[in-house]
Amino acid sequence: MPVWQVTLLMNVTFAVGLGLGYASWGHRLGVLERELDTTRARVEGLERQARACVAGGRAGEQQWEGRGLVRAVYPKLLVITHEEIRGLLPARTTSFRADVPSGAPVQVGEAVRFSLRGTSVDDAALVALERW
């Protein structure tokens, strides 16, 4: 067999092996990225629970942070159009029960940063609110 054929055969073999290896590792990389995202979400949830416990919360309670615009103010309720609250809600307009001391009342149209505490969306209450 001439040298050029041997060289060509070795190059083709190398290219096929490299392609198969790359495809295999590429698939594995996708699986690892999904596992990493799942683990990060779990860690974020545990960190929120730890912050809530330090702040005097009950078991299973979490704390979330958000930013938005005040749309309506009621005695025990605030309606806020907010950005995504990671791990709780997508960006939308939501009404929240207000357990915030009324030291400096907010006005409709003001930008605010807020903290929510609860075990789920249904029982999340505003526990901190400040102008942003």
Count of CB atoms situated within 10 Å of the CB of 80: 22
As given in the structure block, the two tokens for residue 115 are: 């903290």
DSSP letters spanning 29-87: HHHHHHHHHHHHHHHHHHHHHHHHHHTT--TT-EEEEEEEEEEEEETTEEEEEE--BTT
Domain count, the chain: 1
CA distances from 70 to 47, 84, 90 (A): 27, 15, 17
Top-confidence residue, 125 or 25: 125
Does 86 fall in a domain?
yes
- pLDDT band, very low/low/confident/very high, at 118 (cuts 50, 70, 90): confident
- pLDDT band, very low/low/confident/very high, at 51 (cuts 50, 70, 90): confident
Does 20 fall in a domain?
no
Does 107 fall in a domain?
yes
Does 120 fall in a domain?
yes
Boundaries of domain holding 119: 62-131
72-108 pLDDT tens trace = 998 889 999 999 998 889 999 999 998 765 556 788 9
What is the structure's pLDDT at 103?
53
**How far apart (Å, rounded) are the C-alpha atoms in residues 65 and 17?**
49
Does 85 fall in a domain?
yes
Q: Residue 70 burial (CB < 10 Å; 0-12/13-18/19+)?
A: buried
10-39 pLDDT tens trace = 989 989 988 888 777 777 888 889 999 999
CATH of the domain at 75: 2.40.50.320
Does 123 fall in a domain?
yes
∠ Cα 61 38 94 (to 5°): 50
Does 108 fall in a domain?
yes
Q: Residue 94 burial (CB < 10 Å; 0-12/13-18/19+)?
A: buried
- pLDDT band, very low/low/confident/very high, at 2 (cuts 50, 70, 90): confident
Does 28 fall in a domain?
no
